[in-house]
Structure 1
Amino acid sequence: MDFTFNFYAIVLILFGTTSLLLSYYIYKKEGGAVRYFGIMMFSSAAWSLTYGLELASTTLEQAKFWISIEYIGISTLPITWFLFCLKLSGKEHWYQNKIRLAILIATAVIPTLMVWTNDYHHLHFKGYRMDTTGDFPMVALEMGPSYWIFTVYFYLLMAIGSYLLIVTFRKSDPIYKSQNYSIIIAAFIPWITNISYFLGFRPFGQLDVTPFAFILTIVLIAIAIYRFKLFDILPVAREKVLELMQDGFVILDSKNRVIDYNPSFRKYITNIKKNKIIGSQIETLFPDHDGLTALIKDRQSGKIELKVENENGSFELEAKIKTLNENQFKLNSEAVIIKVQDLTTLRKEALLFKSQTIELQQLNQLKDRIFSIIAHDLRGPLVNLAQILKMTTDDIITIDEFKVLAPNLNKDISYTTELLENILHWSRSQLKGYGIDKDLFDLKNMLVNEIDYHLPAAEAKNIQIIQDVFPGEMVYADRLMIQIVIRNILSNAIKFCNENCEINITAVYKKEGFIELCIKDNGVGMSDTALKKIFNGENLSTRGTMNEKGTGLGLVICKEFMEKNDGKLLVKSEPGKGSSFCIYLPVDAK
């Protein structure tokens, strides 16, 4: 090939070659938006380098060859610019669609193919000729319809990309003004030069200065990247980070006007439209908070609590104030940043955590207590029974001696059975996923069955059980759980009654939708201190009036089972006068 190099060709070839090498370096080293910039740089380099070789060509055929190679850069440049702008503005999801990406690639391939096959259809260029009227020969082109369609498409992608940049940088902070100016100016340089070329403003004859304009664009963007650290903190990345923050942030200028804020801050202010926040005075956003205003006006860093009520709810807030000097973030001197934290949720979570901690401690205490009972109280009676049975089998004791020991064995077995039932029912209720089978049932029928079950123990102490419950009193609860509650209360009443005592059972309907079932006795009673210990799950086991054993688990289980059935258990007791146990059972489903 025969070349005659001129100044313009040398400049384009020099910058094109340099850009080509740099584009490879940037693509390999960097990521994110910078990598897309490297791809765009490659397209620009391909255009510049091949256009330089076209300008250095001395024959029309040689120039046409370089034009066909040149179109690889020309057709891909608007697409790479568009992808770069999408990435920079946080809209990369758009091109992640395979169909859209395929269409973009096709729009780059088609113009190139049109140029390569132009001699067969002349749709892109109607004709070529070598213009020798200037300082050096240049190709003069007569444009065809395909060329103008591609030009409109070229401008469209460039315009959309530029619009995305303007919108993105318009919302960004003054922190980014150096980067913003570089990118926006760089975006408009090729526009101005190319439009001027098409309007006939051609100070260099047939010379197309658009590749030179793109070289200048690449240089300005490169300066923004490596001088102003454009992509160290992207404005779009900043927006995404601030949107994820739960705490509110607001930045004030030296005159206490809002210059920036994040979405979380918006919910704490009232009667201010979103587009009116920027430029508002801080005292307008937080009226009746003189303490906050005073700290800001005095430029004092610190924190203060605020109470705010608006359409979003009532908030207890903590505002942390930080004064920024003129060297920080390139903001106005004496700017202020305020972090607003919602204490309402934090305090609720703290109370919930405290409640859960106490509940867990009580549960652990009860668990330890159950294991202690199993290890001692449950093992003892079973060992005694096993020993006596062995002695009887080995004829160590006679049948008459066994009959003497039988009443005590019976008591131990009854105690062990009751203890096992309570432990098993309580353990079952603690299992995750354990369901409560609520249904309507007749309260009187259940009471009659439970009284019959406890009659032998009551008759042994000559205790009279009097029940005054009308038939047909229906309640809505888990039948088994309520049966366990009543059984435990009756068992305790008999255990702590002296001989010839009375136990009275009554049921009264309450207007609140509950039936109040009370079991009252005139036995030994309990002190307030003892009651509190029992309901707190402390280890308190008291023997009955005839030395009957107690586990101390009964009332704890009763209280828990009543709460699970949307009811409650109330206990009144006085030493020497007896006790009253009242349970409240719902009459229908809530």
Structure 2
Amino acid sequence: MSHYFLPIDLLFFGAAIVSFLLAVIILIKRTEPGGVSFACVMFSISLWLIFRVFEGVADTVSNKVFWAKFEYLGIVTLPVFYFVFASQYSRKDKWITTRNIILISIIPALTLILVFVNEKHGLIWKNIYPADEGGIGNLVYEHGSLFWVYFVYGYILIMRGMIRLITTFLNYPREHRIQVAVLIFATLMPWGGNLLYLMGRSPIKGMDLTPIGLTLSGLVLTISLYRGQIFEVVPIARNIIFDNMQEGILVLEIHKKIVDVNSAACGILKISRKQIIKQSLDEALSPFPHLLEKLKNPENQKFEICLDETAQTCLQVSTSTIVTNVNPVGQLIVIQDISKRKQLEMYEQEQRKFAEALSHIAATLNSSLELEVILERVLDSIHEVVPHDAANIALLENGGKMRFVKLKGYEKFGSKEAIQSLDYIIDDIPDFKMMAREKIAVVVSDTKAYPNWVANPEVEWIRSYIGSPIVVGDKVIGFINVDSKTPNFYNQSHAQRLKVFADETAIAIQNARYVEELKQRNQELMLLYEVGMAMTEGLDIHEVVSGLFKQVETLKNIDLFLLGLFNKDNKYPLYLYNSEDKTTQMIEIVPDLQNDLLKQLLDKKTTVYVKNYKTEDIPPELKKLKNYPIENIHSSVNIPLLEGGEIIGIMTAGNRREGGFNENQIRFLETIASQVAITLQNVIMYDRMKELAIIDELTGIYNRRFLYLAANKELDRSRRYNKDLSMILIDIDHFKEVNDHFGHLAGDKVLQKITQVAQKELRSSDVFARYGGEEFLILLADTDGEAAVRVAERIRYSMESLRVKYMEDEISVTISLGVTRLSSERETLQEIIATADQALYEAKQKGRNRVEYIP
């Protein structure tokens, strides 16, 4: 028995061991991208080489063929693993799924099966015989037809993989191309040898040069991995970061041709990368002529533009020149989608306009007490609240009959007479019935698609509708209806505005009705009008109460008048009026829900008249008050203030005598209470609107807009009276890491906790606002710089010990603070903020978690 054991077999064996160890090292290091698939490539090479060694040392033809079959374990898997690796390494791996891996492995798997049963069909090797040259013992394999099918398929996978690596090579910066070049070179060596072998160009007959090439490839890859070239992260990270930036980036060469673009830019401009890359700027952005015009103007280095009016797409664009070795080589265009920010700004502006319009409308409607005039003004003013093509007012009469008393805009559609002639009972129309029952506004976005819409051929032009009940007290007295010819024109936001407007209208209409009754009956209703006027002169709670109490002075038979309001803190602001000395006072109490009188009011939500008021029913807080005859009151009328069926407060009139009120007086007080309830609800809504405009929603402190208003006032005051004024600018250290590690919800909680902790160190007169992101600004009136530094240090120290619990984690943060003061060198708000920002920058540069002061 003879063995052909040559030095080349030792070389192959060593290369197989090196390839195997290389695969293990890569798996242990968990290298990305493509680490696992690259390890599989090296495993395949190791299998091919080890079984090539066994073939080489075998002493018979049958044994050589036996081991040659096992070589195909590496031969058929190598192209598949190589293609997967090249896809992952080049970041073109979205196609990689279990299903697709199985599909591309079908031909290699069938080839492997055919190899092991080749004796039965000869489709892989049709003839095998010894080469008989130089005693090496090589075999000559004459390949069958199916081998060439696999040959073509395998080389297609390898070529596609190489193309992806070459593309990656071209996209990398020059200093990082070496790693891809190594992979391409390592690929070419074995497959070059394989082609020579299959073409019959091997220098030794029957000698497959592929294992020699694989050996050399393993050596090259081992050296490159040791030197850290193959899986260097810098160019990969650059591509990932560039492609995943939220801002759109366009890179132009010196002749304005686009050479690179990221996914965000394609998404914002709604243009594919293929459409824009290598195109001139004019060609690529031809669908956006206004944007092109702005970009061509050299003065527009940063600007905002509305790209699509219909979709309300707004962009912030900034341009900068790319300079290399002092010479400009291109241009960088950064595009940021600011549509949401613009929408929020528009919403805030609309809310502010709405509040101003509401105040103007309230004054306008209440400037007249004639019902006809008020109804005309309602239709004249409604466009300030809700846009429309036509509008009408319907009032309820006895039996629930609706009468359309005022119309506007129907003339141009030829349907005015049709609306005026409508004769409806409220129960006939489902929407009116629901509005009367629920006391809410109804929106019909598209009348054609709304099943409850009552069709009328003379008003078919109405395609979108809103109706709102006019509610006085707890009773619906009519409806305001607005119509549009545009389908899907109205939404819930319009409905809410119309409801507020209807409540204002309710006050005006009810006042007018009282005046009409006044002309027929007595001066009592004239007094009611004056009460309403006094309460609606302003939208501040203290102005409303003050106006009410001024009118209460003229009421007879009332010795004590109380107005209590419920609020979200479960406290009860109570306003008192003593008719004896005409004094007023406000106290705050916690209501006793077990009090019999209060329980009756909350349960029944109707007037409770106590003819014989008992001393034990008086809350303890009221008994302590001086100058108020609480214990001398023996009868009281207690009226709940209702809005939408809910109690928002209680109005009480007291008399020293038992049974001191008659039915007419109670009815009159109930009327006043209904006015008070509607007015208070409007005051609450107005306060909420003002609060929304100046309060940061997340932290609950002032926002940037209010800061500028307050700061400018304080600056004027400090300069005028020569007072001290200091400023603290705060920034959270490494806040991005909190968001990245724990998530944005955790970041929001950190912002809220920091705000709460900082507020504890401040006075009520200090202005504390969120300046932007994780930056906060504090304005300290009547405070010199040294005192401001002490405040800043207290805040900084408090943050050091702060631990924010989020789920199972505890988050700790530090802050950096910049402090400055008003001086002759910096007198404007911008100058003070800039100096505080400079101080903050110095704090950051000196290690963070510190306070820096620029006097």
Does TM, scored on the shorter chain, surpass 0.5?
Answer: yes
Listed one character per residue, the Cα deviations across residues 463-507 of structure 1 (whole Å, up to 9, x for unaligned) are: xxxxxx99837896512432524666389638986994469xxxx
Displacement of 1:41 = 0.7
Q: Does 1:38 align with 2:162?
A: no
The answer to whether the 8 Å contact 1:444/1:472 transfers is no
Q: Does 1:533 align with 2:532?
A: no
The answer to whether the 8 Å contact 1:268/1:315 transfers is no
Aligned pair partner of 1:472 in 423, 431, 434: 423
Change in 2 beyond 3 A, CA 1:546/1:447: farther
Name the CA distance, whole Å, in 2 between partners of 1:284 and 1:119: 62
Displacement of 1:38 = 0.3
Listed one character per residue, the Cα deviations across residues 310-353 of structure 1 (whole Å, up to 9, x for unaligned) are: 698663414164857679xxxx9866544322334323235547
Q: Does 1:484 align with 2:478?
A: no
Name the CA distance, whole Å, in 2 between partners of 1:489 and 1:15: 95
Give 3-state SS (helix, strand or coil) of 1:207's partner: coil
Displacement of 1:128 = 2.9
Listed one character per residue, the Cα deviations across residues 380-439 of structure 1 (whole Å, up to 9, x for unaligned) are: xxxxxxxxxxxxxxxxxxxxxxxxxxxxxxxxxxxxxxxxxxxxxxxxxxxxxxxxxxxx
In the other structure, the counterpart of 2:678 is 554
In the other structure, the counterpart of 1:83 is 84
Map 1:4-19; keep pairs closer than 5 Å: 4-19=4-19
Supply the AA of the counterpart residue of 2:423. G
Aligned pair partner of 2:302 in 301, 304, 315: 304
Change in 2 beyond 3 A, CA 1:539/1:36: farther
In the other structure, the counterpart of 1:443 is 395
Name the CA distance, whole Å, in 2 between partners of 1:102 and 1:470: 75
Supply the AA of the counterpart residue of 2:471. I
Change in 2 beyond 3 A, CA 1:90/1:484: same
Name the CA distance, whole Å, in 2 between partners of 1:446 and 1:554: 24
Supply the AA of the counterpart residue of 1:319. S
Give 3-state SS (helix, strand or coil) of 2:251's partner: strand
The answer to whether the 8 Å contact 1:48/1:212 transfers is no
Map 1:307-386; keep pairs closer than 5 Å: 307=305, 309=307, 315-319=314-318, 321=320, 337-350=332-345, 352=347
Give 3-state SS (helix, strand or coil) of 2:397's partner: helix
Supply the AA of the counterpart residue of 1:194. N
Supply the AA of the counterpart residue of 2:336. Q
Structure 2 gaps of 5+ residues are 286-290, 356-391, 403-419, 440-468, 478-505, 557-668, 686-855
Q: Which moved more, 1:79-88 or 1:120-129?
A: 120-129
Give 3-state SS (helix, strand or coil) of 1:552's partner: helix
Name the CA distance, whole Å, in 2 between partners of 1:182 and 1:70: 26
Map 1:119-134; keep pairs closer than 5 Å: 119-134=119-134
Supply the AA of the counterpart residue of 1:304. K
Supply the AA of the counterpart residue of 2:341. L
Change in 2 beyond 3 A, CA 1:294/1:531: closer
Supply the AA of the counterpart residue of 1:35. V
The answer to whether the 8 Å contact 1:292/1:304 transfers is no
Displacement of 1:161 = 3.1
The answer to whether the 8 Å contact 2:266/2:272 transfers is no
Change in 2 beyond 3 A, CA 1:30/1:268: closer
In the other structure, the counterpart of 1:68 is 69
Name the CA distance, whole Å, in 2 between partners of 1:45 and 1:200: 25
Larger Rg: 1
Listed one character per residue, the Cα deviations across residues 5-44 of structure 1 (whole Å, up to 9, x for unaligned) are: 4343232222111111111221233255111000011101
Displacement of 1:202 = 1.8
Displacement of 1:199 = 2.2
The answer to whether the 8 Å contact 1:484/1:558 transfers is no
Displacement of 1:164 = 4.3
The structure whose RCO (Cα within 8 Å, separation 6+) is larger is 1
Name the CA distance, whole Å, in 2 between partners of 1:199 and 1:94: 34
Name the CA distance, whole Å, in 1 between partners of 2:141 and 2:247: 61
Q: Does 1:207 align with 2:207?
A: yes
The answer to which structure has the higher helix fraction is 1
Q: Does 1:493 align with 2:511?
A: yes
Q: Which moved more, 1:162-171 or 1:528-537?
A: 528-537
Map 1:29-178; keep pairs closer than 5 Å: 29-31=29-31, 32-90=33-91, 92=93, 94-98=95-99, 100-134=100-134, 136-166=136-166, 177-178=177-178
Give 3-state SS (helix, strand or coil) of 2:233's partner: coil
Structure 1 gaps of 5+ residues are 296-302, 361-439, 451-468, 504-518, 562-590
Give 3-state SS (helix, strand or coil) of 1:259's partner: strand
Give 3-state SS (helix, strand or coil) of 1:127's partner: strand
Q: Please, what TM-score do these two structures have when normalized by structure 1?
A: 0.58
What's the % identity of the aligned pairs? 19
